[in-house]
Amino acid sequence: MVGAGSAGLLLAALLHRQGHRVRVFEKADRLRAEGCGILLVRSGVEAIAASGLEGLLERFLAQGLAVSRFVVRNLRGDLIDSSPAEQVAGELPSLLLHRRVILEALASALPPEIIQFNAEVLHWRQSDPDLDPAPVEAVFRQGDLWRGDLLVGADGLFSRVASLVAPERQLNYLGDRVWRGVVADASFCREGEFFVYARGRGVYANVFDLGATASEEALTHWGVFQEEPLPGEREEQRRLLEEPVPEEALAKVPADLAALIRSTPADAVVANWSFDINPLPRLHQGRVVLIGDAAHAMSSSQARGMTAGLEDAVALARLLDPRALVASSAAAPPPVDRALSAWERERLPVVHAYQERSRAVSARTGRRRPLRVRGAGAAPGTPPGASPGALPPTARPPA
């Protein structure tokens, strides 16, 4: 597994439970769990439940907050709309969680020695699985070499693994620079509220409740979106991501929200440029497979990014369960290859629909038409902590 994000960790935990020998390689020196909250829509919570990992759903429910209400305000802070989140009796809720809670919970389902940090993949190659018992080989920057049966690219938007599975994969710039942060606050929005600040069709900011820590410190997530051109030079892109939220952006939002943002410690803020990718025609090549943002990065407008990756992991683990592989026919192609093909057939229409819906909603809510900028391997890095961003003013998170 390349990448210790939510999709990679969940898949690793499921395959480890099934008895597969699993390694997770993460180029950072720790879990990249800083900086922001996540709206995990009901389908994502259902994927956690479907994983069957002991205590995982209970931990999510205990440490997250069910969304209670969506509030839309204009840039003066005046109320435009307020409505309760849809809750269906007997069904799991959409949850507001800190990214740290999600990743730590998923990592706790794995023995610590399975995750290797400071391990950056440079390239990979594969041979014929009929001739080679370990047909996939990955080479790391440190000179290390890994060989095995299956390489999973769970390495996110700027995936290195994806470049050979789908060389046509391109990043499309969506038109804005985004800052997100988490700050100690007990008053701005509480009890599971989700605020959106909008003007016309455009979303400028969101704020939502993250509940309290174990030490009873109340936390609030905020996000600010500023439309601007993407600088052509990678160094300039990186430099701008180190800046705090510009005063010109804060001047557009109500004074109380601007004060909340200014009070956030710098190390609790992350920034990135917004991208998606076009739907890919394939999610695997031989024994190399893509999941999560590596496979189907999408705009944040429908809060589907993390959910789609969790669903990928549950579906792939189901098809790679040794019991399912043994029960399958011995006819060619081998069971693992049939499982990967079946998984791709199952997931492609689902994730394509997510991507197309997210892009359509983004276009309607004022963001720019996606622009192709470069292949994934050449894109600039971003700080950790991507979150689902702003929902459009009239939208509710889909199931």
Whether residue 334 is preceded by a cis peptide bond, meaning omega within 30 degrees of 0, is no
| pLDDT at residue 130, as a whole number | 84
- Taking CA atoms, 245 is separated from 194, 205, 263, in Å, by 21, 12, 12
Q: Can you tell me which residue has the tokens 């709206």?
A: 39
Cα-Cα-Cα-Cα torsion 351, 355, 358, 362, nearest 10 degrees, comes to 170
Residues 295, 279: contact at Cβ < 8 Å? no
Cα–Cα distance between 322 and 22 in angstroms, integer? 14
Q: What CATH number should be reported for the domain holding residue 306?
A: 3.50.50.60
Residues 361, 397: contact at Cβ < 8 Å? no
For residue 84, is it within any domain?
yes
| pLDDT at residue 366, as a whole number | 57
For residue 396, is it within any domain?
no
Cα–Cα distance between 157 and 381 in angstroms, integer? 9
Token code pair at residue 344: 């791709």
| pLDDT at residue 133, as a whole number | 86
Closest CA to 177 of 102, 247, 273, 269: 273
For residue 393, is it within any domain?
no
For 5-128, strand residue ranges (E) read: 24-25, 37-40, 65-66, 69-73, 79-84, 95-98, 115-116, 121-126
pTM (2 d.p.): 0.89
Based on the structure, what is the number of domains in the chain? 1
Cα–Cα distance between 198 and 203 in angstroms, integer? 4
Bridge partners, residue 176, by sequence: 227
Residues 306, 6: contact at Cβ < 8 Å? yes
| pLDDT at residue 388, as a whole number | 34
- Taking CA atoms, 155 is separated from 26, 90, 141, 244, in Å, by 8, 35, 15, 27
For residue 398, is it within any domain?
no
Residues 344, 282: contact at Cβ < 8 Å? yes
Residues of the chain predicted below pLDDT 50: 369-370, 375-399
Residues 309, 293: contact at Cβ < 8 Å? yes
For residue 383, is it within any domain?
no
Buried b (16+ CB within 10 A) or exposed e, 160-196: bbbbbbbeebbbbbbbbbbbbbbbebeebbeebbbbb
Helix, coil or strand: residue 304? coil
Within 8 A by CB and 6+ apart from 324, the residues are 318, 339
For residue 392, is it within any domain?
no
- Give residue 159's domain range: 6-378
| pLDDT at residue 330, as a whole number | 55
For residue 1, is it within any domain?
no
For residue 103, is it within any domain?
yes
| pLDDT at residue 332, as a whole number | 53
Residues 121, 113: contact at Cβ < 8 Å? no
The number of residues making up the chain comes to: 399
Token code pair at residue 394: 């009239």
| pLDDT at residue 390, as a whole number | 36
